[in-house]
Chains A and B, each alone.
Chain A
Amino acid sequence: MSNIKSNWDGLTGLFSITFGLAYGGYAYSLPQPMFGNPLEAIFLPLAVSGIAIFIGVLLIITGGVTPSIVAIKALLNESSQRKEDRRKIAITCLICFFYAMLFEHVGYVISTSLFMFSTLTVTCGKSFWKKSALISIIFAVGIFITFNELLSVNLPPFPFFN
């Protein structure tokens, strides 16, 4: 197996088939429209589903499954630096989700300051915290004023103001 060149084609093919089946199945189970040709609304979804399944099969045939297994093993055995990069992406995604949850409840300035501070801590490290805090607050306030006052885009205000 060590001589086999790794690629992701097999795994991508498997994903493509799963996606095609799930998407097509869901489209087929949609209620029929009240008027017109009942199948018209699902023409495109069914065609997309068919193409995805066909492409998936072709990818598995041309790429094979073993190179994908080799690629997964190579991914798991990557250097600790690469694993650390992935961990940073995962943490940043979690921060983004928390940001989305807080955004409308605590307002733009507070949520963005927290978001910026957290992401700066991920990218710059904890020792940078004073500068991170300063950049976060200046950025959040600056953008809030620019959007609300200059661009007439209303961002969620502070929770204690109406």
Chain B
Amino acid sequence: MDILTNLMNGFSVALQPYYLFLILVGGILGTVIGMLPGLGPATGVAILLPMTFSMGPTASLITMMGVYIGAMFGGSRSSILINTPGDGAALAATFDGYPMAMKGKAESALAISAIASLIGGTIAAILMTLMAEPVAGLAIKFGPAEYFLLMVAALSMTVSMSKGNMLKGFLSMCIGLAISTVGIDGQSGLQRFTFGVLELQTGIDFLVVIIGIYALGEVFKSFRTLSEGGKKAQTKFKRIWISKEEWKRSKWPILRSAPVGFIIGALPGAGGTMASLMCYNNEKQLSKNKEEFGHGAIEGLAAPESANNAASIGAMIPMLSLGVPGSGTTAVMMGALLMLGIQPGPLLFAQHPDTAWGLIASMFVANVILAIVNIPLAGVLVRLLAIPPKVLYPIVLSLAFVGCYAISASVVDFYILIILGVAGVIMGRLDIPTSPMILAAIVGGQMEQSFRQGYRISNQDLSVFMDSGIAKGLLVVVLLSILLPIISAIRAKVAERKVAA
């Protein structure tokens, strides 16, 4: 009952005309950025972040939520029309979305992707409503030792998601942790790794790391597609809607994929890409028309679209309830909250109920608004795909720099941004995943402080990190997340040898 009352209060915030306007504007901008090849929701939220600086915390978060959900809606537009996903989470939409467009069913593809996103997002928002406060209630029992282990668990899970690249995932994590140690140490006052540069004393803002890797790095990587030439998108459509038969085929895949997407999204580091690919494969296994998958099966588009939107909302759970971001986008949102003086985590619901519940209610509202924007206005929005990337990429670069300046008002961060952009390209070339580095740069500082607090409180007795039930549970998660991929890799090698023999 409490949850319902709180949600209603949240709706009374989110449904105010000012916030509806912000969701609409944020959603349209997010859709536009999400549509651009290579630029996902994290880049969208990062470069549009300065837009929220003059707003209060609630307005700022609601706008970012609009951008986030808009980018998730928009990501699949380019997948369907030009076979180029806006970001990783929209990759699965190319498998059947593009073949549908090629068969003259672009209208059905655009409509089902928006409908699946709406239903997936709404189911996830309901799950979020039910789970956010209980998870936050559990997190209140966390002491420094448990917080330290929670962050270690988030890092180890993110590293273990670096499929086939676990060692490189660890290296990426080490670089991120090294970035987090730059600046004056909060407990001893010691200057670490500042190399005499005054601006580095306050450390490297993790938003600069995210903008560097996601905006500059992705644009640099996209230079390759400039020489390959863009594909022309269809911009004229008949009525964008689906038939009864198409709905019949899509409804169960949509409903099945949403909870799966939500759970995967809530795991740190997993995200929309994994959720959409997993649900696509699930539907392929369950379908009676397996041979149609990859050739324009509507359920092959509906399932991943529902899953990736649900995952984007699931990723908000660790950020809002535990204060640990579950994805790059939620990391940017967390940074914005911290800049506004609000600490996400278990106390957010008690100290800032308007912000927390307003945000949750805005998830429902944003999904509806974005579906309305994306179905009838799809024909107008996709015209942007006709703008050549060679003009758009310099604009994104410039927005990245202005976003960075708005955060710190220091050009020293420009140099860090450029270095990180180049690092993003090199890491891509060497198959080093960037997610562990970003998450480590975000949680590294807090993780170190929690470790040292726990260590001091216990009179330098390390057993404090194994004492409580929560600590033991988290240690098991850490061990399993590291050992399971190793065991499965060994088993795969043994099976491979048996086949060869």
Pick from A84, A97, A116, A153: contact of B398, CB below 8 A.
A116
Contact of B174 among A27, A55, A81, A85 (CB under 8 A): A55
The yes or no answer to A141 lying at the interface (CB within 8 A) is no
Give B38-53 as 1s and 0s: 1 = Cβ < 8 Å from A's Cβ atoms: 0000000000001101
Interface residue total, chain A, C-beta cutoff 8 A: 67
Residue in B closest to A82 when the chains form the complex, CB atoms: B224
In the assembled complex, the Cα of A77 lies from the Cα of B26 at a distance in Å of: 45
Are A100 and B415 touching (Cβ within 8 A)? yes
* Distance (whole angstroms) from the CB of B191 to the closest CB of chain A: 8
Which of chain A's residues has its CB closest to B425's CB? A89
Residues of B within 8 A of A35 (CB): 188
CB distance from B33 to the nearest CB of A (A): 15
Encoded as 1 (CB less than 8 Å from any B CB) or 0, chain A from 147 to 159 comes to: 1001111110000
Q: How far is the CA of A39 from the CA of B73 in the complex (A)?
A: 49
Q: Is B448 an interface residue (CB 8 A)?
A: yes
Contact between A19 and B224, CB atoms less than 8 A apart: no
The residues of A that contact B381 with a CB separation of less than 8 Å are: none
Name B31-89 residues within 8 Å CB distance of A: 50-51, 53-54
Is the pair B418, A96 in contact by a Cβ cutoff of 8 Å?
A: yes
Q: Do B398 and A112 touch (CB < 8 A)?
A: yes
> B187 to chain A: which residues have CB within 8 Å?
36, 40-41
Given A31-B190, A43-B451 in contact, is the A8-B430 Cβ separation under 8 Å? yes
The answer on a CB contact under 8 Å between A99 and B414 is yes
Is there contact, CB below 8 Å, between B398 and A52? no
Give bound CA distance, A89 to B221, whole Å.
8
A33/B414 in contact, CB under 8 A: no
Produce 1/0 per residue, A46-57, CB < 8 A to B: 001001100110
Measured in the bound complex, the distance between the Cα atoms of B403 and A108 in whole Å is 13
Selected contact of A41 from candidates B175, B190, B399, B421, CB within 8 Å: B190
Q: Give the contacting residue for A99; candidates B167, B220, B401; CB below 8 A.
A: B401
Give chain A residues whose Cβ lies under 8 Å from the Cβ of B170: 51, 55
Query: Which residue of A is nearest B219, CB measured?
Result: A92
In the complex, what's the smallest C-beta–C-beta distance from B156 to chain A, in angstroms? 12
Residue B223 at the chain A interface, CB threshold 8 Å = yes
Whether B414 pairs with A93 at a CB distance below 8 angstroms is no
Q: Check if B415 sits within 8 Å of A151, measured CB to CB.
A: no
Nearest residue in A to B407 (C-beta to C-beta)? A153
Asked whether, in the complex, the Cβ of A33 is within 8 Å of the Cβ of B397, the reply is no
Contact B226 A123 (CB under 8 A): yes
Partner of A135, one of B53, B185, B391, B399: B391
User: Which A residues are CB-close (under 8 A) to B431?
Assistant: 7-8
Q: Does B498 contact A (CB under 8 A)?
A: no
Taking a contact as CB atoms under 8 Å apart, the answer to whether B422 and A85 are in contact is no
Q: What are 9 sample pairs from A and B whose C-beta atoms fall under 8 A apart?
A: A15-B171, A40-B187, A59-B168, A89-B223, A93-B422, A112-B401, A116-B398, A119-B393, A143-B399
- What is B's interface to A at a CB cutoff of 8 Å? 50-51, 53-54, 167-168, 170-171, 174-175, 177-178, 181, 185, 187-190, 192-193, 216, 220, 223-224, 226-227, 388, 390-391, 393-395, 397-399, 401-402, 405-406, 409, 411, 414-415, 417-418, 421-422, 425, 429-432, 444, 448, 451-452, 455, 460
> What are the nearest 7 A-B pairs in CB distance?
A33-B188, A100-B414, A119-B394, A123-B390, A8-B430, A52-B174, A153-B406
Inter-chain pairs besides A100-B415, A152-B53, A154-B409, 20 sampled, C-beta below 8 Å: A12-B430, A19-B174, A19-B178, A36-B188, A37-B460, A42-B192, A84-B227, A92-B220, A93-B421, A96-B421, A119-B398, A123-B223, A123-B391, A123-B394, A151-B50, A151-B51, A151-B54, A153-B53, A153-B405, A155-B405
